Amino acid sequence: MSMPMATTFGLQPVLLWTDALLFLLIGLGVLAALHARVQAPLREAWRKVGRRPAGMAAATVLLAFIAVGVLDSLHYRPLLAAVEAPKAIGERSAAVYSTEVLSVLDAMLAPLRLQTEKTYSAPFAWTLYQREPMETADGRQVRGYPRLAHGGAHLGEAPAAARAGDLVAGLAKALGQAAAAWLGIFLALATVVWRGSGHGWGEVATALLCGRTVLAWRAALVTLGVLLVVLALCVELAPRYHVLGTDKVGQDVLYLALKSVRTALVIGTLTTLVMMPFAVALGIAAGYLGGWVDDAVQYVYTVLNAIPGVLLIAAAVLMMQVVIDTHPEWFDTAAERSDARLLALCFILGITSWTGLARLLRGETLKLRELEYVQAARAFGVGTPAILRRHILPNLMHIVLIALVMDFSGLVLAEAVLSYVGIGVDPSTISFGTMINMARAELAREPMVWWSLAAAFVFMFVLVLAANLFADVVRDAFDPRRA
């Protein structure tokens, strides 16, 4: 279930179905932004979002997560080393590509992905987390903590004494890099704002720093500064240490957490692509047409709501897994197989989660169809499709937008819960849910392994908090009752 593309630069680009749908959603978002730019009411509503510091800070964090997700959605298959074989004169050897599908993010995080250890190690440690039999220089057998193969390997023979100074030097270098990057972004932003302001460049720069601009750029700059510091620390220290430790099989936990971001974004966004047509079409039809259409739609979503959601999702996921297992010829790589299950989970969550938005749109449509301008359109003989398109749907889009933004965090948490109980994404797919599921047994160890759960919790908490804050600001800006 992927679309192979032309060979480029010794690799074969691969477009998974979730990649294509994610890029489609990003394209639709760009088109929506261009549309809002030429529509005065929409432009003013989004300006209200930009005026709120919480909205700008949350948007900055969400853009950072989206950037990670996009980098992890640019997939390719690397070229394997050519195997020499007898061939005719003038015949070219066929290129052979690996069955492993990597992403641009994998290439950027190659040190974290490839530098695996034997088993658990704590954050910034230079030894394994558990004792093992070791042989001393004089041949005696003792139990101790073996040195890591990669983490802290540069510290030499006295790691305890050298680590503190090395970390302080890395921190200072990271802060300098973050400050330089932030200053460059600030100068570029001040120049862009200055060109259309009619004021002096110094006045504009002072206004940005003091928070006296129309949009809350200072909140965005402060948030960006924090993100740049975290990024610089990871860039500087992650190649030399396991910043967030390693898991049971020695994989870097920071790498796993960053890889989980794409799964959360896919679940949170593609599910809305499935849910929105059902909710909008059935909700508006039930509210405007009434009669047997209203009864049928209410019957459908009442039945769906009567079935426990987890049981319905579990049954659908298990049936889809049977289909995938019985048709292995559909998939060339393991990544395509896991992508198929991820896509199926998005469809299942979308089909089972449209009822709340549909009920909300039905109630609002019942109110809109009785308003004077809709009654006047009917009296003048305007057809039902035209009324729905010109009068009903535009007055419901703020509800659709608010509901979708607010449902994003719920869907991210739903994936974590479903993966925790074993009916979520494929076990080979890295996600916050699978990290939490693996951490369940680790918490019972002695000594306890806590960093896998902590990393998944922190990343998911920041993502969900940013989505909720942004949703609150969008709701306040687009709700006509708050105007």
Candidate CATH numbers 1.10.3720.10, 3.40.50.300, 1.10.645.10, 3.40.1360.10; the one for domain 253-482: 1.10.3720.10
> What is the secondary structure of 403-443 as a DSSP string?
HHHHHHHHHHHHHHHHHHTT-SS-TTS--HHHHHHHHHHHT
Find the helix packing angle between 53-71 and 40-51, rounded to 10°.
Answer: 100
Round to whole Å and give the CA distance between 14 and 18. Answer: 11
**pLDDT, tens digit (0-9, with 9 covering 90-100), for 414-472:** 877 787 777 778 878 888 888 888 887 777 777 788 888 899 889 989 998 898 888 88
pLDDT > 90 fraction of the chain, expressed in percent and rounded:
17
pLDDT at 146 over 90: no
Encoded tokens for 36: 């809002």
What is the pTM assigned to this prediction?
A: 0.86
**pLDDT, tens digit (0-9, with 9 covering 90-100), for 148-205:** 888 888 887 778 788 888 889 999 999 999 999 999 999 998 888 888 777 788 888 8
- From residue 334, give the alpha-carbon distance in Å to each of 340, 370, 426: 10, 54, 10
**pLDDT, tens digit (0-9, with 9 covering 90-100), for 9-54:** 667 888 888 888 889 888 888 888 888 888 888 888 888 888 899 9
Encoded tokens for 360: 């909300």
Highest mean pLDDT among 22-26, 72-76, 226-230: 226-230
Where in the chain are the domains?
2-114, 117-152+241-251, 156-230, 253-482
Round to whole Å and give the CA distance between 116 and 119. Answer: 8
Tell which residue, 193, 197, 196, 183, has the closest CA to residue 225.
Answer: 183
